[in-house]
Chain A
Amino acid sequence: MGLIKGVTGEWEVVIGMEVHAQVTSDAKLFSGASTEFGAEPNTQVSLVDAAMPGMLPVINRRAVEQAVRTGLGLNAKINLKSVFDRKNYFYPDLPQGYQISQYLDPIVGEGKVVIDTEDGSRVIGITRLHLEQDAGKSIHDRNPTKTLIDLNRSGVALMEIVSEPDLRSSEEAGAYLTKIRSILRYLGTCDGNMQEGSMRADVNVSVRKPGDELGTRCEIKNVNSIRFVREAIDFEAARQVELLEEGGKVTQETRLFDADKGHTRSMRTKEEAHDYRYFPDPDLLPLELEASWVEEIKNTLPELPDEKKQRFIEEYGLGGVDAAVLVAERDTAEYFEAVALYGEPQIAANWVTGELFGALNRSGMELGGSPVSAAHLGALIGFISDGTVSNRLAKDVFEIMFETGEGPETIIEKRGLKQVSDVSLIEAAVDDALANGAAQIEQYRAGNEKVLGWFVGQVMKATQGKANPQAVNEILRKKLPG
């Protein structure tokens, strides 16, 4: 638990999060307009989204299904009856003058999520998940005196996932967000793309002396990356500690995180006048679900990261850290399992998390675009374990695979990289090396074991690295005068 050291002692940070996750769906929550990202302004706006007079909402079945799926994935209670309310406030990118949301009766109730921290795993409580409409976008930098409004996002379905104030450090908050995103992506209910705004977090931060009552919290709105969430929390917690230690008081308010400056600041549009006047939306009826339908959805849930991690540990004998890395994304886990079919799982894990991730990282690629297929990587590992190729040369083969997309077999064939285990060939090379290394033989005799490496290097050079290192060692030791 990350306590903050202040002048007056240690402080505990208390964090709760509201994650807004865009539901993966073709159409919006209550209209038939498209949700696709990046369209021309106002081209994905129905008359409903623009709140033209007399327009009415009709709910998208898929959005409901996705919310239920997510709820099940968060081990949460699904409420068979939930209610849509209007949250009333004025803002230029809120066309109706209210957001259709769920207030007293959300579709999903309490649940829990396990996060991995340095001190082991921790259970974080989920308070609720509800469905609501997204607002449009205000563009402030196109005109010096005006704000422009694009309603393409207006009415897109969001799931607001609210956590209990169970998080105790910026790292935990980051781990929580990572985990939520991982679960959503496994479920296919949100693409988790924070750059495109598919996932945003409102972070509630307060500080207290350990054991004290909860302090006054500030809400940092709309933070759009995991790194920013961490930075915002660190800054905000430090700000509150300093304020309190100077004898000041934290005022409950909404703050914005400025990523460029790395600080939070009070919003200029004041919150005090907010009185959202929630009431049940009379254009909609209560949302009622059949228990059997929820059960059907439950039966289609994929294996989620926690279960998968457990299985990787048990079935493949992987360590917790490797398993956690491999299950973070569903496609990584699937890739790994496909590779592991060809050989030792631990070796497969090493190659995936080491060579493959490294190469992807260096080239800025995602696993989905990897030039090396799981089958090819698996085959390469097969060639290592059956001695066709040496471990060292396999890395070169891999690099060529990554560059060309070719399979290992072709590359090894074409470039003659097959390992040489033929004893007579190796013996000849060893003899050559001994003939040219009178000085080194002397050193060896004097007890310098290290020169052995020099001989190995010579043999490898002579065989273009293809000699089986084990055989080289054996023959060397045999031939070196004792």
Chain B
Amino acid sequence: MPVDIETVRRVANLARVKVADTELATLAGELSNILDWIEQLNEVDTDDIEPMSSVNDMKLRWRADEVTDQDISDKVISNAPDSQDGMFSVPKVVE
């Protein structure tokens, strides 16, 4: 079992998802099953193989340095769950 309860807790924290303590064991089991199944990738010899992160066989295109999106703050803020003075608001962050 590659994933134990502590790992689920750590990963859930990294991903900022709340997982109830009662669900940790179930999730650990499910994730372990999935990862065990994924382990079969180790049968493949991938020495000297370049990892593929994109199927596109093209160059990254560039945009011109032009201001094309101006003053759409109403659109930007239109779905905000909470805002003040045109800004998004969250509980106080202490650094």
Direct contact of A and B (CB under 8 A): yes
Contact residues, B25-79 vs A (CB, 8 A)? 53-54, 56, 58-73, 75-77
The reply on A391 being an interface residue by CB < 8 A is no
CB-CB under 8 A from A140, the residues of chain B are 92-93
CB-CB under 8 A from A277, the residues of chain B are 14
Q: Do B69 and A46 touch (CB < 8 A)?
A: yes
Question: Closest chain B residue to A43 by CB distance?
Answer: B73
CB-CB under 8 A from A280, the residues of chain B are 53-54
| B78 → chain A closest CB, angstroms | 10
The reply on B86 being an interface residue by CB < 8 A is yes
Q: Do B89 and A256 touch (CB < 8 A)?
A: no
A280 to B51, CA, bound (A): 11
The reply on B1 being an interface residue by CB < 8 A is no
CB-CB under 8 A from A151, the residues of chain B are 76, 88
The reply on B20 being an interface residue by CB < 8 A is no
CB-CB under 8 A from B89, the residues of chain A are 143, 146-149
Q: Do A147 and B93 touch (CB < 8 A)?
A: yes
Q: Do B90 and A92 touch (CB < 8 A)?
A: yes
Interface 1/0 per residue, A106-140 and B, CB below 8 Å: 00000000000000000000000000000000111
The reply on A262 being an interface residue by CB < 8 A is no
Given A44-B70, A92-B90, A147-B93, A287:B85 Cβ within 8 A: no
A411 to B69, CA, bound (A): 52
Interface on chain B toward A: helix, strand, loop, or mixed SS? loop
| Selected interface stretch from A28-36, A358-366, A443-451, A473-481 | A28-36
A45 to B78, CA, bound (A): 13
Q: Do A268 and B86 touch (CB < 8 A)?
A: no
A48 to B56, CA, bound (A): 22
Interface 1/0 per residue, B3-15 and A, CB below 8 Å: 0000000000110
The reply on B91 being an interface residue by CB < 8 A is yes
CB-CB under 8 A from A282, the residues of chain B are 53-54
Question: Closest chain A residue to B53 by CB distance?
Answer: A280
Q: Do A148 and B63 touch (CB < 8 A)?
A: no
A287 to B58, CA, bound (A): 10
A457 to B35, CA, bound (A): 97
CB-CB under 8 A from B73, the residues of chain A are 40-43, 45
A-B contact pairs, 9 of them (CB 8 A): A27-B68, A42-B73, A64-B62, A90-B16, A138-B93, A142-B84, A143-B92, A285-B56, A288-B60
Q: Can you add 5 more A-B contacts, CB < 8 Å, to A43-B70, A59-B61, A150-B87?
A: A31-B69, A33-B69, A92-B88, A140-B93, A146-B89
